[in-house]
Chain A
Amino acid sequence: MSKHVSRLLLVVALLVSALGGLTVAAQDDCNFVGEVPIGVIASLTGDRPKVGQSTVEAAEMVVEEINAQCGLQIDGENYEVVILVEDSESKGESAVAAATRLIVDEEVIAIIGPQASVEAVPAGQVANDRETPMISPWSTNPATTLDRPWVFRAAFLDPFQGPVVAGFAQEEFGVTTAAVLYDIASDYPKGLAENFRDAAEASGIEIVAFESFTTGDTDFSSQLTNIIRANPDVIFTPQYYNEVPLIVQQARELGYEGPILGSDSWGTPDLLDLCGDACNGLFFSTHYAPDIATDVAQTFISNYEELYGAKPDDVAALTYDAFQLLFTAIRDANSLDRADVRDALAAIELYEGVTGVMSFDEQGDPVKCAVIIKIVDGAFTYYDSACPAGFPPEDAGEPAATATPAS
């Protein structure tokens, strides 16, 4: 651990000296005049301990980095960033209690987290009522930020992926017809299936089959036979990693040879083990790719790997971005007042993060590009970025936009 930290410090120090020609600034020489307390709500126990672990790892890493650069500068004085981690126990009510404690007792400037929508929706209410900026890195449910001026997020919303995948299918394969197979008993696939259908029809793709099943089904042969009879150019299935291999293998067994597309729910490494060769060559949209080629992302990924010995997942990447957004806002505001920080967050024009370039819309939701991943030789491989129309602006110098529609 300490070896890693010192190596990291060295890297940062070299960077600083290279950039500004300054002398090496060790942390002790910063003369911190105060602290910037930031609350972190993470699901350390309960159903999603892995999510909580990634959150805390990314948070500790980003804070170490910023303090190595003498923290945040406000009016020319150095302030040290400190994080206060509270456990949400993967439950909404505990997330509410954690948010209240952080805001009232610890008097944090802002809160990062919680991650899952089931925690972020109720915790967002507390943050909004008590007028404290909150950024949920990972929550994708619209209700988290809806009509809550104090609440932001770093991930795009579920409905965004439907148009992204439809646009990608049109650009990449020139499809004119599509079929959808989804789980009608689960909110996420159902919502995404409908978004995809609406977006596809709006852009002139005919939906020739819209078939459903219910959670726990393993035999999709009848639905797939119906789909194949309708002869679609592409099949879209926004399902989870334990269903996708079955759907793909059964479709191939029934003689379907066209492309199959998915959404961010595909992005679990278990999918690769379970699906084997059958999933090679398929595409899905997601938040972030572990091999995305921007400099910011590469630096983050290699630093994270060095510290924790594993590639960062999307939770870690989005948490890192959420912190950087907050730091940017505090610098812009040049103030530690919660209201000033909120205004600065809302005013961020373009921020280039690990998960791409983004800005916030009036609801506090990010406008950003999705990543298209291709499965190549049993590995998730960055293929392309798919952006909303007209984003990012030309001068931002980001990977070219491929998919157009976003409504």
Chain B
Amino acid sequence: MDLSFLQQFINALQLGSLYALVALGYSMVYGVLLLINFAHGDIFMFGAFLGVFCSMTLKLPFVPTLLLSMILTALLGMTIERVAYKPLRHASRLSVVITALGVGLLLENGMLALTGADPRNYPEEFLVTTVYNIGGLSISNVKIIIIVLAFVLFLGLYLIVQRTKWGMAMRAISYDKFAVPLMGVSQNQIIALTFALGTALAAAGGILWGVAFPVLNPYMGMRVGWKAFIAAVVGGIGDVRGAFLGGLLLGFVEIFVVELGQYVGISSTWRDPIAFALLLIILVVRPTGLFGVARRQKV
């Protein structure tokens, strides 16, 4: 196996981790509310810009910026749920999806009005890039941090969902949202918690994205949001493991179409068509996604 093949593996792991962090939020919200939260990509953007605010204006270092942005974005997520989605809890699903699109546009254009269209980045000392050369393989500290953090955050989330009472309540709501309130569990609290967790992960994804690709603009959430949504669907929307795996898979497919394409004479132009055709094939074979078994517990 040649060395650049390994290099591509690391590239794919980085890109996939970023998609995965965003995909988790789509999946969790869908799990409890059956709502495709189309504002999620813009929440991701918001998290990245909060990072710019914390690091540029407040001059905070990396870890406090990450935590503060996750907390503030979680508050934003809960506020959006309370203001925009909760009043529509009994409306048709179409109304809620349209509302989500509206919220996304509001965030996007609100940020545009606030910061202007000029692209932003983080200060140079925010996370100083160091490149390690290991036997011809180039690995930067940024890549390692992104990959490790993504896996740690996912594991933390997975433990919350599987091992805590809150997580059990989430899974229960996704299983039967009418019976759960009868058992004395507050549906509103659990939904708010779900939003908080999902949006905090999107904020983490946003900041890590901004570190890896330091040209941030208010529209950055749109494309990433779509791709993460596709990743969540391919993984089996409603299941956190599926969302994470779907994100990684999308990263690998995108990178390796380019890597393997050159051996069979396919240029990198074909990256997106081939990548998404492959994902479509997965959905044809498994319409509910990789983890989306019919009547499986959601979340």
Interface residues of A (CB under 8 A from B): 184, 210-214, 216, 218-219, 221-223, 225-226, 228-229, 242-243, 245-246, 249, 252-255, 270, 273-274, 276-277
Q: List 11 other contacts, CB 8 Å, given A211-B268, A242-B217, A253-B138.
A: A219-B15, A219-B213, A221-B11, A222-B254, A222-B258, A222-B259, A225-B8, A245-B214, A255-B138, A273-B121, A277-B124
Q: Are B215 and A274 in contact (CB under 8 A)?
A: yes
Q: Which residues of A contact B213 (CB under 8 A)?
A: 218-219, 246
| Chain B, range 189-216, C-beta contacts under 8 Å to A | 212-215
A221 and B16 alpha carbons, distance in the complex (Å): 12
Q: Which residues of A contact B258 (CB under 8 A)?
A: 211, 222-223, 226
Chain B contact surface mostly:
helix
Q: Are B138 and A212 in contact (CB under 8 A)?
A: no
A255 and B118 alpha carbons, distance in the complex (Å): 29
Q: With A221-B14, A274-B119 given, is the CB distance from A255 to B271 under 8 Å?
A: no
B131 contacts partner chain A, Cβ-Cβ < 8 Å: yes
A277 and B129 alpha carbons, distance in the complex (Å): 12
- Closest Cβ–Cβ distance, residue B71 to chain A (whole Å): 26
Q: Are A212 and B269 in contact (CB under 8 A)?
A: yes
B176 contacts partner chain A, Cβ-Cβ < 8 Å: no
Q: Are A214 and B272 in contact (CB under 8 A)?
A: yes
A101 and B212 alpha carbons, distance in the complex (Å): 52
| Chain B, range 240-290, C-beta contacts under 8 Å to A | 254-256, 258-259, 262, 267-269, 271-272
Number of interface residues of B (CB under 8 A): 38
A229 and B122 alpha carbons, distance in the complex (Å): 30
- Closest Cβ–Cβ distance, residue B253 to chain A (whole Å): 11
- Closest Cβ–Cβ distance, residue A249 to chain B (whole Å): 7
Question: A221 is contacted by which of B2, B15, B215 (Cβ under 8 Å)?
Answer: B15
Q: Are B4 and A228 in contact (CB under 8 A)?
A: yes
Interface residues of B (CB under 8 A from A): 2, 4, 7-8, 11-12, 14-15, 118-119, 121, 124, 129, 131, 133, 136, 138, 140, 142-143, 212-215, 217, 220, 223, 254-256, 258-259, 262, 267-269, 271-272
- Closest Cβ–Cβ distance, residue A234 to chain B (whole Å): 19
A32 and B197 alpha carbons, distance in the complex (Å): 77
Minimum CB distance partner of B4 in chain A: A229
A382 and B140 alpha carbons, distance in the complex (Å): 33
